[in-house]
Amino acid sequence: MQIASLIAKPGQLDPALVDSLRNALGGGTVSWLSPDEAAEFPLETTPGNLDEIRASIAEMADLNVLTEANRRKRMLLADMDSTMIQQECIDELAEEAGVGAHVKKITARAMNGELDFEGALIERVALLKGLPESVIDKVVESRITLMPGGKTLLATMHAAGGHCVLVSGGFTAFTTRVSALLGFDENRANTLLIENGELTGEVGHPILGREAKVQALDEITARLEISACDVIAVGDGANDLGMLTRAGLGVALHAKPSVQAQSDLRVNHGDLTALLYLQGYARGEFVTA
C-alpha cells in the first residue's frame, strides 16, 4: 500500500483540493494530520503521472507518495546549511571577509551540482585566509538562524527513541554549535584550519563531501544495528544526493532544482515538521523542545 501525502503552509491546504485528488486517484479515506496543513490517503499504486500532478498543484501544496510500511524512522540524518539553518555558513564568513557575492555564486553552483564539491570548497575557504577566529562566534550570533520546525522534529524523534545526526559539508566550528542548539546526538563536518588565532585559508583533509555523508549513514546505522531503511535523511544540495537516495526516506527540503529532480520526496511549502508528517505523525503527537 502507498500513501499520498499533501503538505502546505499552515492554513493553506484546501480540503477541496485534497478531496479532488483523492477522487481522481481512486484513493481511500483522507486522514488529516493537521487541519488545513497536512493530509494523506492510501493508494493501491503510485500514479504513473505523478510528476504531472505534482507540477499542477506545485503553487498550492507538496504532493509525495511513499510506502506505508516502516514509515516511522529510527534515525534522522540531516544536512546543516540551508537545511537545519537558513544560511550557508561559508557565505556568511565570506561576507565578513568582503568576498560575499563571489563566494555565494560558487556555493550556489556547487550545491546545484554544477561544480566539483571538494574543489569549490577549497577555492572558497582560500578566500577566508586571515579572518580572525573570533569571526566564527560573531557569525553564529548575528547571522545564523535556525530553520523553523527543527527543534520539534528532533524532540519528537527523540521521544520515539530516534537517534539524530548532523552531517555537513560545512565546518565543525558551526556544527558543534548548531548541534547543541537543536539537540543532535552527534555531528560530523569539515575542519577550518586555524593558526595564531586566524583562519589559514585551508580546510582539513579528508574533506567530507557526498561520499562521506553516505559513509556516515553506513557507519552509524551499523553501530546502532539498524539499516538504511530505518533512516530519514534531509538535505538541499547536490552533495546530499547520495544519502538521500540511500536512506529509507530521503527528503529534498527547499532544495536546488537538480536535487529535486533526482529526489522522490520533496518539500517546498512546509518547514522541518514536514518530515514528521511524511512519517505519519499528526500534529497532536508532536513534542515541543
Q: What is the pLDDT of residues 50-68, one digit of tens each?
A: 999 999 999 999 999 999 9
Res 289 pLDDT > 80: no
Average pLDDT for 161-165: 98
Instruction: Tell me the pLDDT of the chain averaged across its residues.
Output: 95
For residue 279, CA distances in Å to 2, 4, 69, 128, 157 come to: 13, 12, 10, 40, 10
231 beta partners? 75
Average pLDDT for 143-154: 97
Q: Would you please indicate which residues are annotated as catalytic (active-site) residues? A: 79, 81
- Predicted confidence at residue 112, as pLDDT, reads 85
Maximum Cα–Cα distance across the chain: 66
15 C-beta neighbours (distance < 10 Å), count: 12
- Predicted confidence at residue 68, as pLDDT, reads 95
Name residue 78's amino acid. A
Q: Please write the tens of the pLDDT for every residue from 52-110.
A: 999 999 999 999 999 999 999 999 999 999 999 999 999 999 998 899 899 999 988 98
Does the predicted model carry a pTM greater than 0.85? yes
Residues listed for the chain: 289
230 contacts 76 by C-beta, under 8 angstroms: no
Average pLDDT for 128-146: 94
What letter does residue 283 receive in the DSSP assignment? G
- Helical segments of 183-272, H only: 210-224, 241-246, 257-261
Name residue 241's amino acid. L
Average pLDDT for 116-144: 93
Q: Which three cell numbers stand for residue 6?
A: 499533501
- Predicted confidence at residue 188, as pLDDT, reads 96
126 C-beta neighbours (distance < 10 Å), count: 13
- Predicted confidence at residue 116, as pLDDT, reads 87
Percentage of residues of the chain with pLDDT beyond 90: 91
- Predicted confidence at residue 47, as pLDDT, reads 92
